[in-house]
Amino acid sequence: MKTPRWSGMAATALLAAAIATALVVAVRAELLYESRRAALEHARDANRTLVLLASRIIERDISACTRALQTLDASMPAIETPAMHTCLARFVATESAAAPGKLAQAMVMDAAGNIVQDSADSLACHVGLADEPFFKLHSKSPQPSVQISAPFRSCLLDGARTIALSRRLSAADGRFAGVALVAINIGYFNQLFADLAPGTQGGIAVLRDDGVPIMRNAFVRGDLGFGHADVFRHFIVHPGGDFVDYSDVTAGARLYHYRFISAAPLLIVVSASGMDMFADWRRRAMQVGVLTAGFGAGCFMLAVMLIRQQRRRVQAEEELERAIKTDPLTHLPNRRALDDTVASEWTQAARENTELAVLFIDVDYFEAYHDRYGRLAGDETLSTVGRVITRALRQSGGTAGRYDGEVFMAVLPRTPLHAAIEIAEEIGEAVRRCDIPHADNASGKVTVSIGVATRVPSLDSDGNALMREADEALYAAKAEGRDRVASNSMPSDIDNS
């Protein structure tokens, strides 16, 4: 049978397709993994550059104002100094800014909080700023260091949200004499970071070192995790760098890069969303996934096509082999198939040390029958005899076929001589019971002559001698008057020696 061969080829084709697909998937997965790492590193580099540039600009501007404030004292609190001019020049809005004009204002307040000097020359704040937290802080603390306030709204800078860089002014005896400050419009930071947010879901924030937000530039209302306790704790524990954390606002991972500003107690944080960082990567991954799936499907389709083609080829070979080894009239094995059967059974019997029997069966006076009754009747008679022989061999497990013309052959493995003779007698009797008319036969019906030969084969010989003995026995049966069974008298090679 060809089924094992066919199954093996199908399994091999499918396995080859699976291995090819697996290799492609593995290579693509490795490339996607490396490209994802590259996307993350690219985002890190971009955020690092953004934070570094922004922090240097803010450090420069804040440092200029800090130096200007440090030049003032209670005895000479005039703000019209070159240093202060340099400070305020840093904070000028661009033409595209939301609030064109100056983004900073310098002033001096006395101990009561009244504005006594104003760089805007308007002294617009008549109510003073004595209630602001930064003013109260300086009135109580003798430290002359510059402080940065939380954002607040006042009459300064037309009521815009403002932070104050402020410094205590002390009299000669150390008493509180007032506050010098530079008010900076939060729009300064918005202008600085305009259109710089990393991606559609990214954000930039400026925080005080105590976590108070100064400015947020984000795509949604929310701090993007900037003020989350664990996130801010990371800022404090590690003075600079980046890390990945989860944001409840965007429900996903975010990359934070941050840096403290040395000139002021400020912290710049840039937050990039995983959706933005890996947007291109996801598109590529989707494309690669589709292409890989297509490749895998193509491999399996090709394998299936090859399997089908191979199956048709195997089936064609099997059909051709059957045709080559099958008699077209009786549909029994032909001489080639019978020769192969004798060879294989001979080898098997030699290994098992069992007897092998061969029967030659000849239809008596068939030429005369053919001439009298015609070709069609002759073909029908041969087919009938073939069916009779096949039925007789069912229990013995033997093989029957048409050897040549009106001669049939039967191969009986593990069958001693007496059993082979009994089977031959059954065949002869069964043919006679068919009662096929045959006027040229003395019995008046179709009969057969059978030659029987048996041997215990050996591996150093073949079955040709056994077939010759069966053929000789057939001629003996025909010489003795036909319609009978004759056999060889030497059932084994040992008897022949």
Measured CA to CA, the distance from residue 186 to residue 149 in angstroms comes to 12
Q: Which residues contact 208 (CB under 8 A, 6 or more apart)?
A: 148, 150, 214, 265, 266, 267
Contact 287, 226 (CB under 8 A): no
Q: Which residues contact 388 (CB under 8 A, 6 or more apart)?
A: 427, 430, 431, 434
Q: What is the pLDDT of residue 435?
A: 95
Measured CA to CA, the distance from residue 322 to residue 331 in angstroms comes to 10
Contact 403, 477 (CB under 8 A): no
Rg (alpha carbons) of the chain, rounded to whole number: 54
**Which residue(s) pair with 254 in the sheet?**
245, 273
- What secondary structure, in 3-state letters, does the chain show? CCHHHHHHHHHHHHHHHHHHHHHHHHHHHHHHHHHHHHHHHHHHHHHHHHHHHHHHHHHHHHHHHHHHHHCCCCCCCCCCCHHHHHHHHCCECCCCCCCCCECEEEEEEECCCCEEEECCCCCCCCCCCCCCHHHHHHHHCCCCCCEECCCEECCHHHHCEEEEEEEEEECCCCCEEEEEEEEEECHHHHHHCCCCCCCCCCEEEEEECCCCEEEEEECCCCCCCCCCHHHHHHHHHCCEEEEEEEECCCCEEEEEEEEEECCCCEEEEEEEEHHHHCHHHHHHHHHHHHHHHHHHHHHHHHHHHHHHHHHHHHHHHHHHHHHHCECCCCCCECHHHHHHHHHHHHHHHHHHCCCEEEEEEEECCHHHHHHHHCHHHHHHHHHHHHHHHHHHCCCCCCEEEEEECCEEEEEEECCCHHHHHHHHHHHHHHHHHCCCECCCCCCCECCEEEEEEEECCCCCCCCHHHHHHHHHHHHHHHHCCCCCEEECCCCCHHHHC
Measured CA to CA, the distance from residue 256 to residue 242 in angstroms comes to 5
Q: What is the pLDDT of residue 121?
A: 66
| CA angle 268–82–154, rounded 5-degree value | 55
If you search the block for the tokens 């019906």, which residue do you land on? 445
For the chain, domain boundaries: 39-279, 335-496
Q: Which residues contact 245 (CB under 8 A, 6 or more apart)?
A: 225, 228, 230, 231, 234, 253, 254, 256
Q: What is the pLDDT of residue 430?
A: 96
Q: Which residues contact 241 (CB under 8 A, 6 or more apart)?
A: 257, 258
Tell me how crowded residue 337 is: count the other CB atoms within 10 A of its CB: 19
What tokens does 347 get?
A: 């080898």
The CA-based diameter of the chain, rounded to the nearest angstrom, is: 161
Strands 266-273 vs 203-208: parallel, antiparallel or unpaired: antiparallel
* Fold classified for 335-496: Alpha-Beta Plaits (3.30.70)
What are the φ/ψ torsions at residue 238 (nearest 5 degrees)? -110, 115
**Which residue(s) pair with 267 in the sheet?**
207, 260
Tell me how crowded residue 80 is: count the other CB atoms within 10 A of its CB: 10
Contact 53, 66 (CB under 8 A): no
| CA angle 351–352–356, rounded 5-degree value | 100
pLDDT of the chain, 497 residues: tens digit per residue: 445 555 666 677 777 777 878 888 888 788 888 888 888 888 888 888 888 888 888 889 989 998 888 888 766 667 788 888 888 888 876 654 444 557 888 888 888 888 888 887 655 565 668 888 889 999 998 888 888 999 988 878 878 889 999 999 988 888 899 999 999 998 888 888 877 767 777 788 888 888 888 887 754 444 444 555 566 677 777 777 888 877 665 567 788 888 888 878 888 888 888 878 888 888 888 888 888 888 778 877 887 887 788 788 888 888 888 878 899 999 999 999 999 999 999 999 999 999 999 999 999 999 999 999 999 999 999 999 999 999 999 888 899 999 999 999 999 999 999 999 999 999 999 999 999 999 999 999 999 999 999 999 998 888 999 999 999 999 999 999 999 999 986 443 433 33
Is there a shared CATH topology between the 39-279 domain and the 335-496 domain? no
To the question of pTM greater than 0.85 for the whole model, the response is no
Measured CA to CA, the distance from residue 87 to residue 107 in angstroms comes to 13
Measured CA to CA, the distance from residue 453 to residue 489 in angstroms comes to 8
Length of the chain: 497
Q: So what CATH class is 39-279?
A: alpha beta
Tell me how crowded residue 219 is: count the other CB atoms within 10 A of its CB: 16
Q: What is the pLDDT of residue 232?
A: 67
Q: What is the pLDDT of residue 443?
A: 93
Contact 137, 120 (CB under 8 A): no
Measured CA to CA, the distance from residue 362 to residue 485 in angstroms comes to 11
